[in-house]
Amino acid sequence: MMNPTAVHWRALALFAVYHLVLGGALLLLEGHESVYGIGQADPQLLRAVAWIYLAGSPIALVLAAARQPAFDLQIHAALIVDVVALTLIMRASGGVDSGVGLLLAISLAVGSLLTSGLSPFLFAALATIAVVMEQVFAGLTGAGLHAGFFHAALLGIAFFSIAGLDFILAQQLREREKTLREQELDLENLNAVNAFVIDLLDLGVIAVDADNRVRMLNEKAETWLGAQWQSGGMANLAALNHELDS
């Protein structure tokens, strides 16, 4: 399980938009199967899958915006749908030689970055099994068996290579996020210590930024400024004391 950030949820929403665009593109290509090869073996199956994408993507987008249900459940469901749907499109387009495997590789590459643990390898395995089973079915119906299995094997290698790269990249990103959180905590602790030490000084201390806006002052300085500070809040130094601003 992962702790999703706002960036993860936005990426999940964009993934839903990608599926919506993909569904629309498939419908546009449906009437040109003789040119592009997409859906040439079974146009009706292609049309059905395209409408599933078009109908499901807005729902997925709303769920991502609402952040319900859990992030892991949503991204895993999206990847499972992609494995099944794109394998069906591969079937409708004549098998592994159709080039649809590239779309499946793209989905795995994007989705794996949003998953945690060994999930990228699990979905790479599912995609490989789906492609091999499609080729087995194609072989049983008399389509080019040996060349198709070679292409299916290449796709499987590509899926696991993508999973491996995504896993390494995700690990590095998590380590970087952990380091940044630790640095932020150290900075907060340092600021707290500095504020405590400054409050103990017998001198009035005022910290301002480059625009002379007051960012911090100790108890002595607050007492000295008195009512001016209480009414001014984090005001410009000139508004509190013209002599200090000169």
Least confident of 53-57, 58-62, 187-191, 200-204: 200-204
pLDDT at 173: 78
Tens of pLDDT, residue by residue over 215-243, are 777 777 777 666 455 444 556 666 666 55
Q: Is the pLDDT of residue 176 over 80?
A: yes
Q: Is the pLDDT of residue 20 over 90?
A: yes
What mean pLDDT comes out for the span 73-102? 87
Q: How far apart are CA 208 and CA 215, in angstroms?
A: 5
Q: Is the pLDDT of residue 157 over 70?
A: yes
**Phi and psi torsions of 217, nearest 5°:** -150, 155
47 by DSSP, 3-state: which? helix
pLDDT at 232: 46
The more confident residue out of 63 and 135 is 63
Sign of the CA dihedral with 12 first, then 14, 17, and 19 last: negative
Q: Is the pLDDT of residue 209 over 80?
A: no
Percent of the chain with pLDDT over 90: 20
pLDDT at 1: 59
Q: How confident is the model at residue 53 (pLDDT cuts 50, 70, 90)?
A: very high
What pTM did the predictor assign? 0.69
Least confident of 93-97, 105-109, 230-234, 237-241: 230-234
CA 217 to chain centroid, in Å, comes to 42
Identify the burial level of 187 via C-beta atoms within 10 angstroms of its C-beta, where 0-12 means exposed, 13-18 middle and 19 or more buried: exposed
The more confident residue out of 79 and 35 is 79
What mean pLDDT comes out for the span 159-168? 87
CA 85 to chain centroid, in Å, comes to 21
* 69 secondary structure, DSSP code: S
Highest mean pLDDT among 26-40, 106-120, 139-153, 200-214: 106-120
